[in-house]
Structures are given as structure tokens and as C-alpha cells.
Structure 1
């Protein structure tokens, strides 16, 4: 058996270990608190920038680090340009849109490392570059083709949406790629005879043909409606034998299809009359017999005279 001294010694050792772990935990919490308290990634000039009251109430979309960082940066910078924010204010406002992974990255930035918005944007784009959407190239514009039955207006809208995603592309190259995707037609022939130098020139030339297409489409639709209306009118004539004013044919058809009810159907006999009808019939029969007897007697009397 262990002696009391050994047990006390062991208890003292365990207590010392508990005190050590407790101090370590407190030290970890203190270090984390110190790290948060000492976090100051902005330079002195950026920290000194004043944020106006209207900027504090500005509603901004958040970014968690799982989408294209360029889209979020363009969105934020547009908001700041509209609000006439300075470069230092942009630096101070940009982290307010961070959350989740983006906020965790921001808290790791060294002290005083953010001195201007350009460097801050570069660090932000570099950190989340893996989430960038695949860029559209000039080859994607060459693959845009006008489909059969597709109007110039729809083709122009589809091409413009794609071309805005292409970076550092020459205006003449855009005009050539647009002409490459056209179907044979008036606009294609005109661009072949006199090539356009920019997409602005292409849009100016195409506007006339777009108006012509829309006018032709409107007239075709109107002609179809009028044709359908005439066919309905002719079918009405065939049915009634003439214009709507000629009602003789309709009256005849109505007379053929209408059955006139009998008097008995319109005025059915009463129940008590039907019940007394046999007795009335017998009374009539007896009266006829009496008339015959009287007639016979009268004829006999005349014969004797």
C-alpha cells in the first residue's frame, strides 16, 4: 500500500499540471485578444481619412471569397465613384464588404500594409484569383453565328453581351468578327463592299436594317391577322348564306331545328279532370242512347198518322 506521503505527493503533482494547463489556456486567450486589439492593417494616412455620414449608411453587397473577385471589386469601386469617395476612404470601406473566408484573409494582413486602394485591390485579386471566371477571348467572338430566322437586333444584343467580357480587344477586330458571323444579306453585302472600322460604325449601319426588319415583321403580322379575320368572315357567310343582314336563311334553319310543342304539352289536363273523365264518358253514352229511343218513337208516331 502506498503511504500517505506518496498520495499527497501525487496529488500535488496533478494540481501543478492543472495549474500549468490553466495558465497556458489563459495565455492563449490573452495572445488572441492581444492580436485582435493590435490589428491595424491601415497606414497612418488611411486611418486619418474621415468617413462621411452618407457613406456609413451606404448598403453594399458582401463577398465571402467563393465568387469572381473582379466582379465584386468592380461593383464596389462603382459604388465609391458614384459617392465621390477618396482613395483612403475606399481602403477603409472595402473590408466592410468582407465575410467568411475573405474576412479571415483580411485579418492576416500585416500592420500598416494598406496605404492605397490600388495595392489593396491587387492583393485582393491575387488572393482569390482561383475563383475568377474563365475569360472570354477573341476566338469566342469568331464563334458567334447568326442563326436561321434570327433577327439582326437579337444577334447584335447577343454579340454585345459577349464582347463586353473580352479584355484588350481592338475595335476593328470586333467589327470583323461581327461581320464574320452574319448570314448572307443586305448588311453583309454592304460591310463586304465597305468594311467598318469599329463596332460603333457597325451599329450605326445596322440600325437602318434593324428598322427595316422590324417594319417587315410588323406588316407580316398585320397581314396574317387580316387574313385570319377574312377567313372567319367567309366562314360566317357560308354558314348563313350571305351577309349578316340576310336573315331568311337563318330563320329557315331555325324552323327546321325547332319542334313546336302540342297543346297538351303546353296545357296538361288537371288531375281531377282526368279522374272524372270516365264518368263523363258514360254520361255522354247514355244521352246518345236516349236520343236514339226518342227518335225511333217519333218516327213510329209519324208512320201511324
Structure 2
């Protein structure tokens, strides 16, 4: 159409091919032979859709922007730059002053802008990147500290409960046979007797500890070849096991 902008009938014929949906229906509902030239077509469409025209923003729109509580400097800077880019002939000094007013007062970056005002928005954005990195670093450390605290809490509770259980819960005497039975169950089952195993491999066994039971209380009918003493049989010897 740009190549044939002086061909009025051709412009009127080609224009409807770019329409879809409601705009196409609007064109079809026009009375027959109501469009005599391309200028009339343009006037008709402008009158129909002038309400959809995007209004140009003025510098006043920047004064309505405010940094929200909890909003990061990165998000606020992006939002402010997006709004400023839609303003035609936005003076740098005005943009910088409105940025100062929009910021949360008392922050490190706001104090820096008050002390050393930048000459243009490019300098302001470059300086803002430094404070954005500092802000992200502080947030990362705070998140890491929170994770470490959460991970350590269950361990501390577990260790405290275990120590309290050890200190305040005495082991009853009746549990001794159960402990001994559990200990015996942990031994690997053998395919032969301990007595025969000791006789075949006696040189490999270390010398056992002496029996603690007094000699008067021992059963002299039972002899242990490993201890070379009376009191229990070789098959019942705990040292062999």
C-alpha cells in the first residue's frame, strides 16, 4: 500500500484485507457505496475507533509513581524506566528529581542520590546497579541464615530429647536378658559347633579373658576348651562367639 499511496481505488480495495474480527464486521455493515474514496474510509474508521487511541503520557505521570513497601530496587527501577520511556521529551533533571521523590526515603541509594545527584538517567542507572547487587547479596545471606537455622533446630531438639532420655530414664534390671538375647541374635549362624570350630582353628584364636565368675559358683560339669577352665561349655563360650 505504501508503493501505491496515490492509487485511491487500489487503497480502498486492499485496506479491507487487513481487517479481522469486529473491525471487519464494522466494514461489512457500512451502507453500499457509502465510501467514495480512501480519505472517506479513513475518516470513518478514525471516528469509529478514536476511543482506542493510546494517549501520550506527560511528565505528570511520573509524579504518581511510588516505590512500594518491600519492592526491590531492581523492580522499582524497571517500572520507573518503563514509565519514563513512554514520555516524549522527558527532561533528565525532571526524571531524576521525580525518581528521588518516588523512592523510599532514607535508603542507602536515596542518600547517595541526595549527596551526589547524577547528571542524567544513564548515570543514575549505572549507579543503581551497584546498590542492586548489594541488596541481592544481603537478601541472599539472610535467606541462607534462615535455612541454616531451620536445619539446625530439629537436630538440637533430637539431641536434647536423647540426652534427657538417657539421664532421666534408668534402665530396668529386667531388660538385661532381653539385651543379651538381642546380642546373641546378631551373631552370624554357624554350620558347625563352636567346640569343633575351635579345635580346627585354635591357633587363629586370641587368648580369651579370664572368667569373672567366682570359682565356687561355677558348674564343674561344664568345661571350656577355649578358657581351659570350668563354668560353661565351649559351645556357650561368649569369647568364641
Q: TM-score, structure 1 length as denominator? A: 0.43
Instruction: State the shift of 1:233 in Å.
Output: 1.2
Kindly tell me the number of residue pairs found equivalent between the two proteins: 163
1:85 counterpart residue number: none
Gap change, CA 1:223 and 1:105, over 3 Å in 2:
farther
SS at match of 1:136: coil
1:241 counterpart residue number: 163
**Separation (CA, whole Å) in 2 of partners of 1:180 and 1:109:** 53
Residue deviations 1:61-116 (CA, integer Å, cap 9, x gap): xxxxxxxxxxxxxxxxxxxxxxxxxxx8xx946751342235657985433549xx
Does 2:155 align with 1:155? no
Gaps spanning 5+ residues in structure 1: where? Answer: 1-40, 48-87, 243-247, 259-305
Superposed, which structure 2 residues align to 1:143-292 within 5 Å?
A: 143-183=64-104, 184-241=106-163, 249=166
**Larger radius of gyration, structure 1 or 2?**
1
Gap change, CA 1:223 and 1:176, over 3 Å in 2:
same
Instruction: State the shift of 1:215 in Å.
Output: 0.8
Instruction: State the shift of 1:214 in Å.
Output: 0.6
Residue deviations 1:98-152 (CA, integer Å, cap 9, x gap): 42235657985433549xxxx96x9855652223355533222112122333210
**Separation (CA, whole Å) in 2 of partners of 1:166 and 1:253:** 80
Does 2:7 align with 1:44? yes
**Separation (CA, whole Å) in 1 of partners of 2:6 and 2:87:** 36
1:58 counterpart residue number: none
Gap change, CA 1:137 and 1:165, over 3 Å in 2:
same
Q: Report which of the two has the higher share of helix.
A: 1
Higher relative contact order (CA 8 A, sep 6+): 1
What CA RMSD, in Å, does the superposition of the two structures yield over aligned residues? 4.0
2:24 counterpart residue number: 99
2:218 counterpart residue number: none
**Separation (CA, whole Å) in 1 of partners of 2:171 and 2:86:** 71
Residue deviations 1:249-273 (CA, integer Å, cap 9, x gap): 49x6998xx9xxxxxxxxxxxxxxx
CA contact (8 A) 1:159 1:178 kept: yes
Runs of 4 or more above 6 Å deviation: 252-255
Gaps spanning 5+ residues in structure 2: where? Answer: 176-241
Gap change, CA 1:234 and 1:145, over 3 Å in 2:
same
Q: TM-score, structure 2 length as denominator? A: 0.53
Instruction: State the shift of 1:166 in Å.
Output: 2.9
**Separation (CA, whole Å) in 1 of partners of 2:123 and 2:27:** 43
